[in-house]
Amino acid sequence: MEHVIRATGLTKTFHDTRAVDGVDLTVEAGQRVALLGPNGAGKTTTLFMLLGVIAPDAGHVEIAGLRLPEQRSEAMERVGFAAGYMPLAERLRVREFLDLYGGLYGLADPSERIDVGLERFGIAHLANVMGNELSSGQRTLVGIIKATLHRPRLLVLDEPTASLDPDVAQRVRQGLLDLCEVEGTTLLVTSHNMVEVARLCDRVVFMSAGRIVADGSPAEVADLFGQEDLEDVFLHLAGNARDAARTQETDHA
Amino acid sequence: MSWLRVRSIAKRHAYVLRRSPHRLYDITIWPVVDVLLFGSLGVFLSETEGGEAAAYGYLLGGIVLWHVVYQSQIALSTGFLEETWSRNLLNLMVTPLKELEYAAGVALFGLVKLALGVGLVALGALGFFAFDVTDVGVGLIPIAAVLLAVGWAIALFVIALVLRFGSGAEALAWGILFLVMPLSGVFYPVPALPGAVQPIAKLLPTTHAFAAMRSLLDGEGLAWDELGIAAAGVLVLALGATIFLAKMLSLFRTRGYITRYS
């Protein structure tokens, strides 16, 4: 199986806080992987290191066999990234924004890909609307279309449905499943919505306090912790993280 | 280097300018204000008893060429600031875009702004004060090229400082030019400056470029020695700015400063 992500020993410390602590992560082509964990578990820092936006203190990252940071530009030609918190560039219409990013991803004429994306996520009617007139849900959809214009091998999404109502969230999930099936895209997604994760992903990787504490199918991970489902695993790990933080505070006191 | 990516960045900034009329201030109002201020001062000084007619040419020629530095610097540094204001940095950093392609794209569109801004100053000098900058001769072209490179190099320093210190350093985009301008002898030769700051002035490539301009205005031809020093100085400045920017970008990635803009 071909490795789309191969990260070894990723470590990152901010001031005195070890945000990511020796993460090893391998994702194979075609997998749909959820990176889960409570707030502060190190998910976004891990994603940013995989994307070359943050440099790790230790460890290595390869995307589709291309080493970061040396081959970052070539690697990013194969990656798309979107996040619920990322705004659209201001003063651009949706089509202009997508056209701009199509150019950055090397598409001489991205019109057809823009139309496919807008149709796939059901927002073709917004093509000529100004970015600052969109709702946060609509902005998220445009961000995902932007990230998929160039048919990336790997699509990385950080909390893509955080600000969406259930109807739009369902459209996003369906669009992503369609994309993965039709174009064979590998998916790496973070989310706090465990129901969504169970529907969308075939593998879950749980992080806690900067480390990977579980890795497997949703059912395997639930079994590992003796819990009913991913929601219970999440609550269990979040509770542990809180207890650990309290103990640390008491020790310091 | 991908031309497609350079073009995309230039296009993005063209959209921004088209949809933000207030950003036209730098290339419309400011040039007119400058040419009125320095042109009127030049007329006043040259008509005052004991005043020198040369002051008129020095002031108007100086302000036309100063706008080459100003417009190129402002276009590149505010182009980058636009990405921070619209929180677009993360969007760009996760694409294949290389740093050089980004700078080339912003600088490319900056040339359009520069042509508009400097063109307006030159037209104002001609229309208001009958000062035709083209009469100075083709020698102005290499001088303008040196000043263009100075503007870009200063912008790289500003961008590096914004990467390191965040939005607090934004004021430098405009403020740094107020420091460089008096020290560069834009309107007067270096001996007119207080003795204590003259050694600093002589280190600036702009000082030698403006000295070369005055030589042209005085009808003495292009001062190649001054132009050579200015060109060498700008090479050192550009190299220093590039190294500093690379270090600050590396620090930006190491310390995870992207979270300031995401």
Residues 6+ apart with CB under 8 A from A96: B15
Instruction: Indicate if the pLDDT at residue A250 is higher than 80.
Output: no
Q: Which residue has the higher pLDDT, B51 or A208?
A: A208
User: How do residues B70-107 score in pLDDT, each as one tens digit?
Assistant: 999 999 999 999 888 888 899 999 999 999 999 999 99
| B12 neighbourhood in chain A, CB within 8 Å | 89, 92, 100
Is the CB of residue B88 less than 8 Å away from at least one CB of chain A? Answer: yes
Share of chain A above pLDDT 70, in %: 95
Decide if B78 contacts A81 (C-beta within 8 A).
Answer: no
* Cross-chain residue pair B8–A100, CB shorter than 8 Å: yes
> Using CB atoms, which residue from B5, B253, B254 is nearest to A104?
B5
Which candidate from A14, A53, A107 shows the least CB-CB separation from B258?
A53
- Which residues make Cβ contacts (< 8 Å) with residue A120, sequence separation at least 6? A145, A175, A178, A179
The answer to whether the Cβ–Cβ distance between B256 and A54 falls below 8 Å is yes
Position with higher pLDDT, A74 vs A167: A74
Give the separation between CA A125 and CA A44, rounded to whole angstroms: 32
Distances from the Cα of A229 to the Cα of A198, A218, A221, B205, angstroms: 9, 8, 8, 68
Q: Using the predicted structure, report yes or no on whether residue A253 has a pLDDT greater than 60.
A: no
- The pLDDT of B238-257, averaged and rounded, is 94
User: Is some CB atom of chain A closer than 8 A to the CB atom of B262?
Assistant: yes
Query: Which pLDDT value is given to residue A245?
Result: 66
Can you give the pLDDT at residue B155? 95
Are residues A48 and B258, on separate chains, in Cβ contact within 8 Å? Answer: yes
CB B90 within 8 A of CB B262: yes
Model confidence band, residue A252 (pLDDT cutoffs 50, 70, 90): low
| Optimal mutation site among A43, A79, A91, A149, interface B, most CBs of chain B within 10 A | A91
Chain A CB contacts of B250 under 8 Å are: 55
Interface touch B5/A96, C-beta < 8 Å? no
Nearest 5°: phi and psi at B120?
-70, -40
**pLDDT per residue as tens digits for the range A14-47:** 988 899 999 999 999 999 999 998 888 899 999 9
C-alpha Rg value of chain A to the nearest Å: 19
Contact: A104, B96; criterion CB under 8 Å? yes
CB distance B153 to B237 below 8 Å: yes
A54, B253 in Cβ contact below 8 A? yes
Interchain CB contact of B12 with A (< 8 Å): yes
Residue A199 — very low, low, confident or very high, per pLDDT cuts 50/70/90?
confident
pLDDT above 90 as % of chain A? 56
Answer yes or no: is pLDDT of A126 > 70.
Answer: yes
- Residues B101/B51, Cβ–Cβ less than 8 Å: no
Q: pLDDT (tens digit, 9 = 90+) per residue, A204-233? A: 999 988 999 999 998 888 888 888 888 888
Looking at the predicted structure, is the pLDDT value of residue A244 above 80? no
For residue B53, is pLDDT > 80? Answer: no
Q: For strand A203-208 and strand A186-190, is the pairing parallel, antiparallel, or unpaired?
A: unpaired
Q: Chain B residues with CB inside 8 Å of A55's CB?
A: 250, 253-254
**Residue B168, pLDDT score:** 84
**Rounded Cα–Cα distance for residues B149 and B144 (Å):** 9
What is the reported pTM?
Answer: 0.88
Chain B residues near residue A69 by CB distance under 8 angstroms: 253
| pLDDT the model gives residue A2 | 83
ipTM associated with this complex: 0.88
pLDDT tens by residue, A44-79 = 999 999 999 999 999 999 999 999 999 999 999 999
Give the range with max mean pLDDT: B14-28, B37-51, B153-167. B153-167
Residue A211, judged by CB atoms within 10 A of its CB (0-12, 13-18, 19+), counts as middle
The reported pLDDT for the residue numbered A248 is 64
Instruction: Answer whether residue B49 shows pLDDT above 80.
Output: no
Tens-place pLDDT, residues A74-125: 999 999 999 888 887 778 899 999 999 999 999 999 999 999 999 988 899 9
pLDDT score recorded for residue B20: 83
Q: Is B11 on the interface with A (CB under 8 A)?
A: yes
